[in-house]
Amino acid sequence: MEELKAPGSHVATIEEFEPRGDYLIRDGEIITTTLSRVSYDRREKVVTITPLRRGSIKIGDVVMGKVVHVQGPFAFVDIYFVNGERFHSEMTGMVYISAERGSAPFNVGSMVRAKVILNNAGHLMLSISDDDLGVVEAYCSYCGGPLTRSYRGALRCQWCGKVHRFKVAPGFRPRRIMQERVTLE
């Protein structure tokens, strides 16, 4: 039998099971230290507590995330994918916008592909300046309509026609794919 247990959860007593892995014992009680997969072997009377590996992010990793907020020259990006794999920890990175371009390279709600350029105790600085980085999905800032590629890499709103001069990544995806992605969330 296998269970997922939150940090500080009761696993068993030491009379019931011999614990293995990562745990605490308090008053004869086996307790998880972190979010863990707990597997009980009732025949051998052994319980194995394996912490779920939390993702880590290093400099040079390519992340995919959503721009959630812009404050002054900084944009905040909630990270969903790291090097193409779903990222399970909650983490937000920052893009220094005015270092990137004259005008805003994306808007709030854009999905962007970015590279990690600094990780200072978990505070991530991201860059979208490389050719393969930038906006991969976006909606119109004015009406919320779907944006599609227009002339010279600009994005045009399918509803109101306004043009957005974002920093567009080569893998920009039209809205059809965004809807699939949104249902995954």
Q: Does 154 bind Zn ion (CB under 5 A)?
A: no
Buried b (16+ CB within 10 A) or exposed e, 108-134: eebbbbbbbeebeeeebbbbbeeeebb
Which amino acid type is present at position 28? G
Chosen residue from 52, 59, 154, 160 binding Zn ion by CB under 5 A: 160
Contacting residues for 102 by C-beta, under 8 A, at least 6 apart: none
* Selected range binding Zn ion among 8-16, 42-50, 161-169, 175-183, rule: CB under 5 A: 161-169
Q: How far is the CB of 156 from Zn ion (least distance, A)?
A: 9
Partners of 120 in the beta sheet?
Answer: 123
Binding mask 97-136 for Zn ion (x = CB under 5 A): ----------------------------------------
The size of the interface with Zn ion (CB under 5 A), counted in residues, is: 8
Chosen residue from 18, 142, 154, 182 binding Zn ion by CB under 5 A: 142
Q: How far is the CB of 61 from Zn ion (least distance, A)?
A: 33
Q: Provide the phi-psi class of 115: left if phi over 0, else alpha when psi is between -120 and 50, else beta.
A: beta
CA distance 114 to 87: 14
Instruction: Using CB under 5 A, list all residues that contact Zn ion.
Output: 140, 142-143, 145, 157, 159-160, 162
